[in-house]
Amino acid sequence: MSTLLFSDPVFRRHDTSRGHPECPERVDAVLDALSKPNFGALQRRIPSPATVDRLASVHERRHVEAVLQAIPAQGHAFLDGDTCVSPDSGNAALCGAGAVCEAVDEVAQGRADTAFCAVRPPGHHATADVAMGFCLFNNAAVAAAHALNAHGMNRVAILDFDVHHGNGTQDIVWSRPGILYVSSHQSPLYPGTGRASERGGSDNIVNMPLPPNSGSTEMRDAYGAVGLPALEAFQPDLIILSAGFDAHRLDPLAGLNWTEDDYAWLTKRVLDIADRLCGGRVVSTLEGGYHLGALGNSVAGHVRALMGASNSEDSC
């Protein structure tokens, strides 16, 4: 199984101000974890930035232009109380969306089976017209629209396992029956959306709120009973993962108790479905994860699973 890794030095230059949890060291932790010898088979790529036209497939054009115009020439600016930008933030956001779209191109055209995009800023809180929650543009939603528009796909599924609900992705895909959105997340927690009753305009939203302090058992039960059956019933042509690793028990921003093994377990279950339904096509893009050690270890297990590693290989 061939797996691509997309990243770029510009993601580290997105400076979010001192002490901000969505820090440049996050991408360092990810890339350090993926530099080990057992990741030698990863094919590494530098992405090109997304165009404004491509972002406008899911965002209002005036919003895209306003965000890019808000990038300061020096220092920092805050788009909301949480979302800080600096001179390279616009380039980083464009390259993040571009990375996920290029990953879609590669798997759609059969040049790779799976891909992981080690990008920042994250994307799943960005709505059609609001940048929020550390996010400027919605990478997963942009990539899903690109798959539909550029590759003639009929159904794309986005599965989001970040500990925070992807309100932005839900907002964007609410009335788009060709995109399924499945999310597990802690509730109550920021941003306050993601109730199971939120179903979308075509019943294309599947939310699995998890109570604080729940862990492996509750997560695996929810996916086994709700999330994975919904994914399978949708019969997607492509699966996009909004891969947040902040449900980990060590993460400082939330209160779930997942482990590295949980991320590998879930990734393998998704790959099983992808192998049966869509030629194994899975694209994953980094969302949250704010404990650097847990982030690196969890991403390592996730990417090993994307690469088709067996349980024995995972333990090496």
pLDDT single digits (tens) 87-119: 999 999 999 999 999 999 999 999 999 999 999
Three-state DSSP class for residue 157: strand
139 within domain boundaries: yes
User: CA–CA separation, 33 vs 298, rounded Å?
Assistant: 9
Q: In this structure, are residues 306 and 107 in contact, taking their beta carbons and an 8 Å threshold?
A: no
Residue 314 pLDDT exceeds 70? no
CATH number at residue 167: 3.40.800.20
Residue 217 pLDDT exceeds 80? yes
Q: In this structure, are residues 240 and 140 in contact, taking their beta carbons and an 8 Å threshold?
A: yes
What's the pLDDT score for residue 1? 66
For the segment 291-306, what is each residue's pLDDT rounded down to a tens digit?
A: 999 999 999 999 999 9
What's the pLDDT score for residue 296? 98
Three-state DSSP class for residue 240: strand
Average pLDDT over residues 128-150: 98
292 within domain boundaries: yes
Pick the more confident residue, 316 or 51.
51
Residue 271 pLDDT exceeds 60? yes
316 within domain boundaries: no
Which residue matches tokens 């009335």? 175
Residues 6+ apart with CB under 8 A from 14: 24, 85, 86, 88, 89, 92, 93, 120, 121
Residue 313 pLDDT exceeds 80? no
Tell me the two tokens of residue 168. 């932005």
For the segment 3-27, what is each residue's pLDDT rounded down to a tens digit?
A: 999 999 999 999 999 999 999 999 9
Q: Counting every residue, how long is the chain? A: 316
What's the pLDDT score for residue 309? 67
User: CA–CA separation, 144 vs 68, rounded Å?
Assistant: 22
The DSSP element (H or E) to which 284 belongs, if any, is strand 282-286
* Domain interval for residue 11: 3-310
Tell me the two tokens of residue 142. 């942009």
63 is catalytic: no
Cα 170 from chain centroid (whole Å): 13
What's the pLDDT score for residue 310? 42
Among 14, 63, 125, 164, which one carries the catalytic annotation? 125
The DSSP element (H or E) to which 180 belongs, if any, is strand 179-186
What's the pLDDT score for residue 104? 98
315 within domain boundaries: no
H runs (alpha helix) in the chain: 25-33, 52-55, 61-69, 89-108, 139-151, 167-173, 216-222, 228-234, 260-277, 292-306, 311-314
Average pLDDT over residues 272-285: 98
Residue 315 pLDDT exceeds 60? no
169 within domain boundaries: yes
278 within domain boundaries: yes
Q: How confident is the model at residue 137 (pLDDT cuts 50, 70, 90)?
A: very high
Pick the more confident residue, 172 or 309.
172
User: What is the tally of structural domains in the chain?
Assistant: 1
In this structure, how many other beta carbons lie within 10 angstroms of the beta carbon of residue 51?
13
For the segment 38-81, what is each residue's pLDDT rounded down to a tens digit?
A: 999 999 999 999 999 999 999 999 999 999 999 999 999 999 99
Query: What's the per-residue H, E or C state across 35-74?
Result: CCHHHCCCEEECCCCCCHHHHCCCCCHHHHHHHHHCCCCC
CA atoms within 13 A on the CB side of 97: 30
Q: Tell me, what DSSP letter sits at residue 84?
A: E
Average pLDDT over residues 284-295: 98
Percent of the chain with pLDDT over 90: 97
95 within domain boundaries: yes
